[in-house]
Structure 1
């Protein structure tokens, strides 16, 4: 057993729900044995959409039939241009599963996995995941990112009992999907930094095990963007392992903190607003990649400031009241459903001036250690932009349908949609968020006209 297989096995042992992970060139052939271990004597049903049925569902049905595995008729979900991540769809699927006592096998990528995960939870059954692309990190994660009443939220539900990834299926998926997965994985750079900061400021203690599951091998998993674009099997294996390990880390910790920070706050904002390019919704991973660049650039800006010289009491005295925060949020979100949820999330992490002062003192006192982490573990935003270009993903906000003007405003808006404490909140506590954004979008700044056109 090589080191990466050993670490994967350790991560599975630490996971809350998932008990079997196979990532192999002939993964589909392993599904009957995995089902026999994970869910013996259960009647299974493949759940796919039109595309994933053609990519892997039909072949998996043949494998299961040849092995004598009990299967019901497949459930092929329809949607144009693609199936939507709506909770209403998962409710209907749950009714079908429950009525026939079926164990679902999710054959697909992000949306199919989230729909089946949530439906299985409602139906009171386990499920098995067969990814068809290395496109996102949610395969092994607890919780499903679905829309309820238009607002995208993570709904509580268990992760799959087993995951079987066939590298040939992964390699034959559209190349853009691996670029999406790479964007999702690169966001872990920022997630790690955000957690380090939250721990140092007393907001959320670091959990060393799940943190290490993601961060220790992240540089290796991200190290061959050109190979991923060229469908190199070893590079895709690393990408898939990184995405699955991120999900297992979330299981081990009990929430998404090990793999989701301010990078995902940008992404969730844009996904809720349904940003499109040429009429097509932009993928989660593409949004996370731009969110990651947004925060890498912000953290670089912060490193250049004299944080060690701040006066916490003076800065904290300028903190906005809860009523002022509410007014700011409502003005930032003209759509009522988004405003109501953003107000609730912002209020949940609102702090008194005394609490802000305490956080800023911790920031100042711990700044040498924080700065050491940022300089030692975060690559430059310009380098990550090149990685995203090499893998074939977007590297400018305009490429995901977000104008520079909107992007600049969204630094503040992204902070408001989640209660999780991140680097955006540090800049807000300092009163520096607007100045940071102004510098980043000015001529010569990371998102400035000259740089953006480069």
Structure 2
């Protein structure tokens, strides 16, 4: 079954989950991917049953690309409130509150944009219990159809509960005309399927945490043809662009079905989140997926190294006082609360070492079976002309090494970064990843 058919069945609630044998669906009512949506925008939104007053949210760039067209299409059917940010909003609680204030009288929100616009609209609309839809302007990330939003609160970047879009609409002509960096960003955000699956599988096999095959089953038809044709994607091939959009949409649906971001966000995203939180504020703009492409290469190299030999786990020695000294009282307390959920004490280390001694061979074989080789992933990014190194995305190597070492402290998510640290091998591996 191809990706388009999977999307159709998820929308209809008739997709059969291999994990359970039961039919499942998604909360999104309508999702349309077409070579062009010109002239269809009014009908697409009308079919969602939104109320009379609709707020259309964009920024200066996305308004010019598609927002004005959407507003004109809705005018007459709805009372349209146009909200145009002069610059892309920062994805934090302040931006979400601004949207909540300005859309207080609206019945629904229509986001026109990509990552940040979508996240803040998704989060703000969920807080106010009003529906939202999104018209994509770039194939730059996999969050269009997820139920979480990447929002920074008090300096701590979090994946917060939000809601699925009632409608998500993708005009391939618009997406193909997006800046090349944004297309590469979408490819980079798709690249991490393999590292995220390996990390999540590790947490399942080592700690007994829940794991689902479904999110990866959804991606299996489109991933290979997309990665193998990265150069054609950048040359404007609409068939490959549709593969990318399918991949982004289905990755979002996978997280929506699971109920959190685990299927698509593990160690590679922890590194990226740490960078977002602590990198030099004067650093040039780097898109999320550009950054994740680089951090995914680091993660897959670490995973390959860690699978070479049976690890021996030692207890964590970090303390709350150490966290507060490193991050300050407020952020330190927030990070410590996350880290405590996966902190390894002496008793836990003994139990895990017994499990590793007995089962590591089988664990290793299963994890290796979901990993794509680092050389292959590097080749995919090279074919697309994407950045490959920390320096290429304006990060000093010393800072990046610190991110690799410390990023596991900001989130309660056990990944190969934790396994390497608990085995005393992370610091030694950093120069090679």
Q: Same fold (TM over 0.5)?
A: yes
Q: How does 1:8-407 map to 2 (within 5 A)?
A: 8-12=7-11, 13=13, 14-65=24-75, 68-79=76-87, 82-98=88-104, 100-214=105-219, 217-275=222-280, 279-305=283-309, 307=310, 315-316=312-313, 318-321=314-317, 324-330=318-324, 333-334=326-327, 337-407=330-400
Task: Report the equivalent of 2:17.
Answer: none
CA shift, 1:135, in A, is 0.4
Deviation at 1:55, TM superposition (A): 0.6
- What is the Cα deviation at residue 28 of structure 1? 4.5
CA contact (8 A) 1:44 1:71 kept: yes
TM-score (norm 1): 0.87
Give 1:3's aligned residue: 2
If each structure's helix is expressed as a fraction of its own residues, which one has the higher value? 1
Give me the CA root mean square deviation: 2.2
Q: Is the CA contact 1:90–1:116 (under 8 Å) kept in the aligned structure 2?
A: yes
User: What is the DSSP-based 3-state SS (H/G/I as helix, E as strand, rest coil) of the residue aligned with 1:5?
Assistant: helix
- Segment drifting more, 428-437 vs 127-136: 428-437
**Cα distance between partner residues in 2 of 1:185 and 1:92:** 31
Secondary structure of 1:263's match?
Answer: helix
CA contact (8 A) 2:3 2:221 kept: no
Distance across 1 between alignment mates of 2:38 and 2:369: 40
Give the TM-score normalised by the residue count of structure 2. Answer: 0.91
Shift of 1:275: 4.8
CA distance in structure 2 between the partners assigned to 1:108 and 1:422 by the alignment: 32
Counterparts of 1:390 and 1:86, CA distance in 2: 34
Q: How many aligned positions are there?
A: 422
Instruction: State the Cα distance separating 1:57 from its structure 2 match.
Output: 0.8
Contact 1:200 1:363 in 2 (8 A): no
| Residues 267-325 of structure 1, C-alpha deviations (whole Å, 9 max, x = no match) | 1111112456x8423221122111111110001111222x1xx5xxxx55x4134xx34
**Separation in 2 of the partners of 1:335 and 1:220?**
46
Deviates more, 1:203-212 or 1:409-418: 203-212
Report what 2:20 is aligned to.
none
- Quote the Cα distance in structure 1 between the aligned partners of 2:259 and 2:62: 30
**Relative to 1, partners in 2 of residues 1:403 and 1:264: Cα closer, same or farther, differing over 3 Å?**
same
Unaligned runs of 5+ in 2: 14-23
Give the distance between the partners of 2:176 and 2:278, measured in 1 at CA. 31
Measure, in 1, the Cα distance between the counterparts of 2:205 and 2:180: 39
The alignment partner of 2:152 has SS state of strand
